[in-house]
Amino acid sequence: MSQAITKTSFSFPRQKNLYVGKVRDVYNIDGKYLVMVVTDRISAFDVVLPRGIPYKGQVLNQIASKFLDATSDIVPNWKISSPDPMVTIGHMASPYKVEMVIRGYLTGHAWREYKAGKRTLSGVPMPNGMVENQKFPEPIITPTTKADAGHDLDISREEIISSGLVAEKEYQLLELYTRKLFEKGTGIAASKGLILVDTKYEFGKKDGKIYLIDEINTPDSSRYFYANGYEERLRKGESQKQLSKEFVRQWLIENNFQGKEGQVVPEMPDSFVEQISERYIELYENIVGERFERSDTSNVQNRIEQNIRKALETLK
């Protein structure tokens, strides 16, 4: 099995600090730039699982990089360059403390809440009489808090504004950008025979301007269904054929883990780790429409470090 990168600990010129997220190692360069190394770590239920997934970081980074380029006409984004298959370098922006989740279909967390009898999510009403995986009449925006640790929580537009998390005029812009990005992503997915089911976008502010930050339309932040057979499976009440992390969550649930206190993360066998890796590569090839080129992982830490150092030399 190929080597998975679950940790980095580089030291770059002008480096101020290193932030280790669930999946990304983010190096602050001079308070002006961020070097984001997308590792092969995988998280579910806001818990980082013990084993890394080979090529996952490369898949996420390259999909996000392509979508950042494809949507730069909608909203400015943080990307400057992608000097390595697992790395993006970009502008440092002050992040908003909310994640803009947009849902086109009733599935995942929304369905679990709906099945439990709830008819609002983040203050947004959901129609009665819907079934799992059914399309909403219009996509709904259901923001969450952006937790530094632990679980993100559903939060309404009104709560965001009244608590001062985001000013009203800026929040209106975040919603506008979210809808336009989702519309663009939906169109790109449809052209590849996929349905962009739901996703989340994160935004930040730099020099008074709103930027799209972090990843976009990747299988970690999004859910995709195959369009072919969707209607038939919906009519029969069958599970949709999908490309997302949801199958990892389902495996964990079946093995008695949902991130709750006292629960122990089940050990993932090699065969399941390989299966996850292949699913990520499958998504890449479907959404990007080109063959995935597996990078050489024989000396990957050195490769990443050298590529970053070269790129940083070009930045003032």
Dmax over CA atoms of the chain, in Å, equals 59
For residue 150, what pLDDT is reported?
Answer: 60
* Average pLDDT for 248-253: 92
Type of residue found at 119: R
Q: Residues 137-178: pLDDT tens digits?
A: 999 999 999 876 566 899 999 999 999 999 999 999 999 999
> Which helix (DSSP H) or strand (DSSP E) does residue 130 occupy?
none
**pLDDT band for position 13 (50/70/90)?**
very high
For residue 297, what pLDDT is reported?
Answer: 87
Domain ranges in the chain? Answer: 15-92+246-312, 95-243
CA 125 vs. chain centroid, Å, equals: 24
Alpha-helix runs per DSSP H in the chain:
56-70, 108-115, 157-162, 168-191, 230-236, 246-254, 270-288, 300-312
Radius of gyration of the chain (CA): 19
Count CA within 13 A, CB hemisphere, residue 122: 22
Q: What share of the chain is helix, strand, coil (3-state, %, to 5)?
A: 30, 25, 40
Q: Residues 34-93: pLDDT tens digits?
A: 999 999 999 998 899 999 999 999 999 999 999 999 999 999 999 999 999 999 999 999
Please state, as a whole number, how many other Cβ atoms lie within 10 Å of the Cβ of residue 180: 14
Among 138, 137, 5, smallest CA distance to 59 is for: 5
Does 298 have pLDDT greater than 90?
A: no
Same fold, 15-92+246-312 and 95-243: no
Pairing assessment for the beta strands 33-38 and 87-91 based on DSSP bridges: antiparallel
Tell me which architecture the domain covering 15-92+246-312 has in CATH.
Answer: 2-Layer Sandwich (3.30)
Please state, as a whole number, how many other Cβ atoms lie within 10 Å of the Cβ of residue 274: 15
CATH superfamily, domain 95-243, is: ATP-grasp fold, B domain (3.30.470.20)
Cβ(155)–Cβ(101) below 8 Å? no
For residue 244, what pLDDT is reported?
Answer: 76
Q: Residues 230-241: pLDDT tens digits?
A: 999 999 999 998
